[in-house]
Amino acid sequence: MAQKKGTVRNFLDFQTLPILSMNKQYIIIVDDDADDREIIKYACTDTIKDHEYVFLEDGEKLLEYMHQYQNETRPSLIILDLNMPGKDGKQILSELKSDERYRPIPIIILTTSSSENDKTASYNLGANCFITKPDTFDNMVQLIKAIAKLWLQ
């Protein structure tokens, strides 16, 4: 029996954001690059089939989303880019990890940066993992499989 693919929800316009299914686990992916969001989306839906997905284009939308739905089911995982316009990933990470409501949510930094300074700063701010984005789709699929195995099982 074929597994059903995860539900993908692209919420680039925050005003159209519906409430997710209360009984379904979900993952939030925040990245300002549309191409990177697409690659991550296909890698996730091919790999992690029992979750819903929320794709947001910047950290401010993530904070709005988290504050609006703070009494709803929390995400199983947040995958966060560092280099974004407005509040960058480090600022968002700091805000989420300094709030006791969101502190338990695992946050993985997935970025083009390979800077040791970015890595150290991310861990100091509470990131659970820091990963440089892979250069091919196949490598992204392998990375998503590793993330699922480590953080979702």
Could you tell me the residue ranges of all domains in the chain? 8-16+24-151
Paired residues of 67 in beta bridges: none
pLDDT in tens, 63-115: 988 888 766 678 889 999 999 988 899 999 999 999 988 999 999 999 999 99
- Write out the H or E segment, with its range, that includes residue 91: helix 89-97
Q: Which two tokens stand for residue 132?
A: 């440089």
CATH superfamily of 8-16+24-151: Response regulator (3.40.50.2300)
Pairing of strands 77-80, 8-10: unpaired
Phi, psi of 105 (to 5 degrees): -75, 125
54 with 20: CB under 8 angstroms?
yes
By the 8 A CB rule, do 51 and 152 touch? yes
pTM: 0.83
Which of 38-47, 75-84, 124-133 shows the lowest per-residue confidence on average (mean pLDDT)? 38-47
